[in-house]
Amino acid sequence: MITLTPDDVKQRFGPLFAKKFLVMVDERAGMAEILEQCHARGTIEWDAMNRRRAGGVVLGCMVEGSAMTIHAKLGRLPVNFGAAGDTIGGQALEAVDVNGDEVITSWAGIAGAGVGVAACLPQAPGVLRAEYPTEDDLKIGGARTNRVRIVSPRYEKVCFGIDDTDTKTEGATWVLALKCAEACRVPGVEFLNMRLVQLNPLVPQKTTNCVGSALNFAVRPGQVTALADHVRAFVEAHTVSDDTGIAWYRGIEFPRGSPFAESIKTRIVTVEEAEREAAALDIRFLDGNGRKGRIGALGAVLWGNRGIEAAGLYGEHL
């Protein structure tokens, strides 16, 4: 086994194109979420298609610009790996293993895709070290096959839903939410993204657009409480409404499907219904109000990782 740091890899192969690598783990669901970012979209698109075709532990891939999110099973599974073909992928994720405070992802690539996993990805900010099984795995390019284990810090995923921080005359929840994320200085916390979640525009008690906001973070072990404290304190200090709701969920996947994902966009939901559904999904509330903002906050968490459809009316697609 040959072990190299990202600087070692860069010195050996020259600087390449990976800009970010981060792995979140949800052991309760037996899943990991891997975030990669590259300088260009084309490489990300090709990698995503090939990893999905290769199978292994990959459950699905999503590309947004030059970034890719992979959902994967924990453990190791056989892959359909080789030169890219009808049923074979030229790059594969073979395993995701948790070792204490670290996560080990095991990769295989052939030809140019081998350069990607052996020389490019191990340089990404967020990588601790790369472990190559043999010296041959450090020979890149041509028709060679390369394998590498990439070791990175263990994160978990936390989603916050925020609603009813404004009134008909003052404030905007999405502005407050983004300012909350940008103001976070908790060590070991990475802000991932924010989503605006369109709620039911026909409810009688609403501000003009009836939109909640979701904030997604990657959080190192031991820092979740500090992050939750920051979100609660910031929102409570800057809201102009007495109805503010703040909900949050720790994990990548809910334990079951929720009919409230549809209900929150299509019918009038009571606070009591929202609280019961939140408890069943292990979604918790940070606010002390217990008022109508909890409905939209729950909706924001339910839709916070479901793609662009979160921003539309129910059933609306681009």
Q: What tens digit of pLDDT does each residue of 197-244 get?
A: 999 988 887 677 789 999 999 999 999 999 999 999 999 999 998 889
Q: What is the pLDDT of residue 206?
A: 67
Burial class (CB in 10 A: 0-12, 13-18, 19+), 228: buried
Residue that is written with structure tokens 């970012």 in the block: 37
Pairing, β 245-250 against β 145-163: antiparallel
Closest CA to 216 of 195, 197, 193, 234: 193
DSSP 30: T
Pairing, β 67-73 against β 58-64: antiparallel
Q: What is the pLDDT of residue 16?
A: 96
Q: Is 311 helix (H, G, I), strand (E, B) or coil?
A: helix
Q: What percent of the chain has pLDDT over 70?
A: 100
**Does residue 277 contact residue 258 with C-beta atoms inside 8 Å?**
yes
Q: What is the pLDDT of residue 238?
A: 95
Closest CA to 261 of 283, 246, 245, 244: 283
Structure tokens at 248: 């949050």
Burial class (CB in 10 A: 0-12, 13-18, 19+), 86: exposed
Helices within 20-139 (DSSP H only) = 41-54, 112-115
CA distance 7 to 304: 36
Instruction: Using only the alpha carbons of the chain, give its radius of gyration.
Output: 21
pLDDT digits (tens, 9 = 90+) for 267-286: 998 999 999 999 999 999 99
Long-range Cβ contact pairs of 129-137 (< 8 A, separation 24 or more): 129/3, 129/4, 129/5, 129/6, 130/3, 130/4, 130/5, 130/6, 130/9, 131/1, 131/2, 131/3, 131/104, 132/1, 132/2, 132/3, 132/4, 133/1, 134/2, 135/2, 137/2
DSSP 38: E
Q: How many other β-carbons are positioned within 10 Å of the β-carbon of residue 225?
A: 10
pLDDT digits (tens, 9 = 90+) for 39-93: 999 999 999 999 999 999 999 999 999 999 999 999 999 999 988 788 899 999 9
Q: Domains of the chain, with CATH numbers?
A: 2-155 (no CATH), 164-311 (3.30.70.2200)
CA distance 176 to 112: 44
Structure tokens at 54: 């290769």
Structure tokens at 105: 């992802």
Average pLDDT, the chain: 94
- Conformational region of residue 79, where left means phi above 0, alpha means psi within -120 to 50, and beta covers everything else: beta
Closest CA to 246 of 254, 237, 255: 237
pLDDT band at 195 (very low <50, low <70, confident <90, very high): very high
pLDDT of 166 strictly over 90: no
Largest CA distance in the chain: 67
- Conformational region of residue 158, where left means phi above 0, alpha means psi within -120 to 50, and beta covers everything else: beta
Q: CA triplet 265, 293, 289: central angle to 5 degrees?
A: 155
> What mean pLDDT is predicted for residues 302-315?
93
